[in-house]
């Protein structure tokens, strides 16, 4: 079944055909997609006065910025060389920088950090990855360094909660650090011929850590905390040999772990696993995964993939668990963005326009 959506913004007609191809096994009732707002970045004026919290970030090169809970643009700027961007704040940095300025979603300066490297924002914390890739430091609210560590191997993956830091290394080691940056546990799986950590995610509460590591074979492992340390919960060999960072993420609302994999022919897919490793489901992609999220209160995973068969092609996918694909939505765009939006909506960027979409069961 095909549906047509007409998107209007900035005084001009912006038409995008969304073909919602409903499969034989739809999501119970019909899923409706509506556009709540549309912002043309080249025309819109940011308004910080009267903004309604919380704020929601977007990144649509050359721009980035924030939208408030009413769908109003509160901040917009150009990316200098790179951007570390979260709901709490951002660091807009040049390709080679000795100074990092942390600002909130209105653009107000909150701290200045004197450190060489690349900023990484996780769980409300500010880290700097050293320019050589083997040093990590954390910086406090006053801009002072809290701790710094040198590693014997290059950092290939990294994540953190408010109390725990997990670091994956080129050597294949996974290191668990406490709030002071001190190592409290290390883990290494030894089944792969080439032991490299390619992907890493830690649950918000720190209960589980997922890592994708190795070549020949490539493996995903979930570690659970037993009260004292992390221990393997399950391990699964992948039909994949990705030699680059692998997107892997816990979706706590649905109790699933989702990651990207690629077969020997170069075809990408998403693999969804229950936390115990059972009930595996796979979804083919038209190209490499761009971004992945689950809107608040929705049972649907939303993925954005780059279409490798069409110049400037993207596909938006709505995936309702195991084997139920709700929709595949192809569109053309030079650049695109997918992120969380106000009230459980999602933000979809297309060229220089940010759309606020809402998924509802009709």
Per-residue pLDDT for 299 more than 70? yes
Phi, psi of 160 (to 5 degrees): -160, 155
Peptide bond into 217 cis (omega under 30): yes
Nearest to 85 by CA among 67, 99, 70: 67
> pLDDT value at position 24?
30
The Cα 117–Cα 29 span in angstroms is 50
Report how far apart the first and last C-alpha atoms of the chain are (Å, whole number).
Answer: 15
Q: Confirm if 29 and 52 have CB atoms less than 8 A apart.
A: no
Phi, psi of 173 (to 5 degrees): -80, 140
The Cα 157–Cα 196 span in angstroms is 10
Rg (CA), the chain: 21
The Cα 308–Cα 312 span in angstroms is 9
Per-residue pLDDT for 9 more than 50? no
> pLDDT value at position 8?
31
Q: Confirm if 150 and 134 have CB atoms less than 8 A apart.
A: yes
pLDDT tens figures, 339-349: 999 988 999 99
Q: Say which DSSP state 342 is in.
A: G
Q: Note the residue count of the chain.
A: 362
pLDDT tens figures, 15-58: 343 433 333 334 444 667 788 888 888 778 888 777 778 999 99
The Cα 90–Cα 74 span in angstroms is 14
The Cα 187–Cα 202 span in angstroms is 14
> pLDDT value at position 362?
61
> pLDDT value at position 42?
79
């Amino acid at each position: 079944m095909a549906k047509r959506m007409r998107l209007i913004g900035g005084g001009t007609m912006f038409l995008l055909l969304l073909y919602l191809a409903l499969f034989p096994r739809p999501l119970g009732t019909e899923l409706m997609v509506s556009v709540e707002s549309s912002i043309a970045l080249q025309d819109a004026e940011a308004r910080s006065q009267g903004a309604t919290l919380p704020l929601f970030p977007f990144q649509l090169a050359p721009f980035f910025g924030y939208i408030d809970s009413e769908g109003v643009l509160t901040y917009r700027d150009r990316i200098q060389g790179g951007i570390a961007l979260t709901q709490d704040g951002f660091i807009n940095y040049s390709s080679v920088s000795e100074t990092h300025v942390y600002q909130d979603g209105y653009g107000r300066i909150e701290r200045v950090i004197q450190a060489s490297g690349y900023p990484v924002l996780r769980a409300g914390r500010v880290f700097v990855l050293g320019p050589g890739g083997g040093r990590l430091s954390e910086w406090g609210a006053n801009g002072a360094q809290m701790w710094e560590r040198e590693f014997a191997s290059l950092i290939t993956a990294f994540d953190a909660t408010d109390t725990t830091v997990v670091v994956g290394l080129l050597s294949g080691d996974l290191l668990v650090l406490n709030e002071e940056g001190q190592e409290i546990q290390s883990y290494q799986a030894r089944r792969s011929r080439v032991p490299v950590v390619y992907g890493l995610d830690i649950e918000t509460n720190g209960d589980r850590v997922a890592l994708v590591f190795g070549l020949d074979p490539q493996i995903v492992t979930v570690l659970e905390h037993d009260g004292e340390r992390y221990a393997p919960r399950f391990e699964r060999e992948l039909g994949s040999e990705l030699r680059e960072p692998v997107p892997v993420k816990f979706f706590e609302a649905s109790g699933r772990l989702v990651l990207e994999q690629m077969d020997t022919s170069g075809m990408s897919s998403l693999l969804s696993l229950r936390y115990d490793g059972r009930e595996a489901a796979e979804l083919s992609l038209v190209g490499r995964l761009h971004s992945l999220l689950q809107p608040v209160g929705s049972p649907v995973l939303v993925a954005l993939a780059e279409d490798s068969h069409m110049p400037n092609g993207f596909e938006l996918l709505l995936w309702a668990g195991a084997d139920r694909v709700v929709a595949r939505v192809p569109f053309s765009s030079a650049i695109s963005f997918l992120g969380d939006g106000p009230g459980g909506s999602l933000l979809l960027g297309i060229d220089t326009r940010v759309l606020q979409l809402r998924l509802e069961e009709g």
